Amino acid sequence: MNIVSKLTCLTTFVLTSQLLIGTVNAAPKAPVKVETVKRASLTTTFNVHGTVYGKNDVDLTAGANGKLIYVVEPGTRVNAGDAIARIDMLPLQLEQAEQQLLIERAQVNLEYQKIELARLQSLAKTDAAAVYQLDLTQNKHDLASSDIALAKLKLKQINDRIERATVTAPFDGIVSQRYRQAGSDVNRADRLVRLLDTHGLHVKLFVPVKYFNQMKPGMTVAVSAEQYASRAQVVAVIPSADMQSQTIEVRAALASKLNNENSTHWATGQLVDVEIPIADDNTSLLVNRDALIIRREGVHVVRIDAENKAQKVPVIVGKGQGQLVEVKSAGSEKTLNEGDTIAVRGAERLVDAQVVEIQVSPT
């Protein structure tokens, strides 16, 4: 009876095992979405404050002495070439007219000296006394010619002052401040207005000197203020550190494609937040955050082998950037390598050796 009972139990166990195996094999494949393990350097970021300014912001000055008869109002938007201020040109116009008359007078004198010089040249051939008069007349002729040249040069100077009497905008912008009012007398180089460049906005920021080697012209930084954000490109890194703050000055140009919006979203002198990326020199394994399975015993990812079977790989999580996170294998038995396929969706209930069906994301 004991032998029969043992055979019966053994037969029952074998049949039960076969039924269980058949049930497992008949179970549907678990659908998963996968990505590839990458090896790259992780870029971290740090934040500093910056100040918006116009690249061409300038104080426009008087180009000539005189009385102001017009100065544009603050807040006025102007185009390149528009009149910003005008100085009374009547005194200059009178000088111009006087100088033109002096030129005409000098030309009359020159014509007389030419005629006299020709007459004396004829007399000098027969009269020795006329030779002395010829030399004097030649000298007067040359002086008259020089006087005309000087008078014309003086006229050019007056014309230049007349042109400078009207101050024009060197670029498109907005007048932010007026230093002098119409009706006041000004001298050349006196400040009249401040013109802001609203289409060439830059950001000035001060970065800790320890990041000096990472700051390169051409790199992109993120600029934000309130509910608006934009990108800026570093155009200058000034290699001079402030002794007290140990920072260096960096200048970045706001994205040019937003020039039409700059005057709406940014104001000269505005304080903004700047996010600067710093690339790590060392490379590491990077995976999608969605691939991490967190359990009491630790964190693991599920690797999918060539036979579409799942395999749990314990990992240690490092730094992250956006959707990517740095990982390294937690043990020596199961290691994660660059190029491995891991599950990022549907991996929570997978067990080792379970067959999966890889789903392709629609493009």
CA gap 54, 268 in Å, rounded:
7
Given a cut of 50, the residues of the chain with pLDDT beneath it are 1, 4, 7, 14, 19-26, 258-259, 261-262, 363
For 183-199, what is each residue's pLDDT tens digit? Answer: 999 999 999 999 999 88
For 39-90, what is each residue's pLDDT tens digit? Answer: 988 778 889 999 999 999 999 999 999 999 999 999 999 999 999 999 999 9
Collect all residues with Cβ–Cβ distance below 8 Å to 149 and sequence separation of at least 6: none
Confidence (pLDDT) at 6:
52
Distances (CA, A) of 39 to 44, 67, 320, 328: 16, 71, 13, 11
Confidence (pLDDT) at 28:
73
Output the six-digit token pair for 139. Answer: 């000298």
Of 142, 135, 133, 152, the C-alpha closest to 114 is 142
Q: Are strands 173-178 and 191-196 parallel, antiparallel or unpaired?
A: antiparallel
> With contact defined as beta carbons under 8 Å apart, do 217 and 236 qualify?
yes
Confidence (pLDDT) at 157:
93
Segment holding 11, helix H or strand E = helix 2-26
Residue 10 burial (CB < 10 Å; 0-12/13-18/19+)? Answer: exposed
Helix axes 129-164, 90-123, angle to 10 degrees: 160
Domains within the chain, CATH numbers bracketed: 28-43+283-358 (2.40.420.20), 45-56+199-280 (2.40.30.170), 59-84+165-196 (2.40.50.100), 89-164 (1.10.287)
- Calculate Rg over the CA atoms of the chain: 43
Of 128, 134, 151, 255, the C-alpha closest to 203 is 255
Confidence (pLDDT) at 2:
52
> With contact defined as beta carbons under 8 Å apart, do 290 and 276 qualify?
no
Confidence (pLDDT) at 212:
92
Amino acid at 131: V
Backbone angles phi, psi at 176, to 5 degrees: -100, -25
Confidence (pLDDT) at 359:
85
Angle at 170 between CA 263 and CA 161, to 5 degrees: 150
